[in-house]
Amino acid sequence: MNILAIDIGNTNIKFGLFLEGEAQPVKSVGVNDDENIRSTLHSLWEQVPAAPRSKEKLRDAVIVVCSVNPPATERFRTAVSEEIKEKILEIGLDKDVPLPIKLGVEYPADVGVDRVLAAAAAYLVVEQPVIVADFGTAITIDAVDDDGTFMGGIIAPGIAVSAKSLAENTAKLPEIVVNKPVMTLGGNTRDAINNGIYFAAVGLLETTCRKFAEEMEVWPQTIVTGDGAETIKEDCKFVDNWVPSLVIKGIVLAYMKYIQERPVS
């Protein structure tokens, strides 16, 4: 089975191509870079083999989408239709493909599909309580209980968002790119900002994991993903696993579960 898994976020669109179950390198494109989105779509789709019995040599794959950005999703839907004459399947409540785990939250329709899929991907592997932190545009830290129910969690500004917000809302503080500090004490303004944002992220993750464990009365495994995770990972020794592109893996798992469980017509 061949799947083109698409994770549409607020900043980037990630493309994950799986050919006969083998993952190809994930590609990331700015969410508003329409030209690059279309060219990436083309280049990946050309790698998909033709369906064996297709006289028109149609490609033998499905395009499955997880999105937290409805306008970008509609632009992507149009690009798929115009560029490769295909349709997309979207994951979510009342969408083409259902969510792969139960939701134990107050307002299920408000939960970002990416949060659920990352949590589902982690739980379906470890099959026990798990905490999943995603360091992207936002930092989300969520928990799945022993029964495989998504319990919700916390949402905080991402590392880059924090740096941008600080610069935009002060008169003299510069916008920086946050990196691992050389020393905790910042000897100048740029280092002070860098270290403050960096250790705030590390502390947020550690404190949240501890508080979740206290409330769940069990110490879950902690799995971290997202582009920003690479920045802080060396100071998070309490994390069990760092998994790149966990949402992409969740998209594939959700689709596989869907086709295995749907009624045979």
Q: What is the pLDDT along the chain (265 residues), one digit of tens a residue?
A: 899 999 999 999 999 999 998 999 999 999 999 999 999 999 999 999 887 765 566 788 999 999 999 999 999 999 999 999 999 999 999 999 999 999 999 999 999 999 999 999 999 889 999 999 999 999 999 999 999 999 999 999 999 999 999 999 999 999 999 999 999 999 999 999 999 999 999 999 999 999 999 999 999 999 999 988 888 988 998 899 999 899 999 999 999 999 998 876 5
Domain presence at residue 257: no
**75 assigned ligand-binding residue:** no
Token readout for 46 is 């050309």
Whether 122 and 244 map to the same domain: the answer is yes
Whether 245 and 120 map to the same domain: the answer is yes
Give the Cα separation of 40 and 6 in Å (integer).
Answer: 12
Residue where one domain finishes, among candidates 36, 61, 90: 90
Give the Cα separation of 70 and 161 in Å (integer).
Answer: 20
**6 assigned ligand-binding residue:** no
**225 assigned ligand-binding residue:** no
Q: Specify the residue for token string 């995603």.
A: 134
Whether 170 and 227 map to the same domain: the answer is yes
HSE, side-chain direction, 13 A CA sphere, residue 50: 7
Q: What is the pTM of this model?
A: 0.92
What Cα–Cα distance (Å) separates residue 186 from each residue in 117, 190, 191, 201? 38, 8, 5, 16
**187 assigned ligand-binding residue:** no
Whether 192 and 246 map to the same domain: the answer is yes
Domain presence at residue 196: yes
**Predicted pLDDT at 196:** 97
**223 assigned ligand-binding residue:** no
Residues 251 and 5 sit within 8 Å (Cβ to Cβ): yes
Give the Cα separation of 106 and 98 in Å (integer).
Answer: 18
Token readout for 193 is 């900002």
Looking at the structure of the chain, the number of domains it has is: 2
**10 assigned ligand-binding residue:** yes
**Predicted pLDDT at 14:** 97
Question: Structural domain of residue 71, as residue ranges?
Answer: 3-90
Whether 223 and 181 map to the same domain: the answer is yes
**Active centre residues (catalytic):** 114
Q: Which amino acid is at 100?
A: P
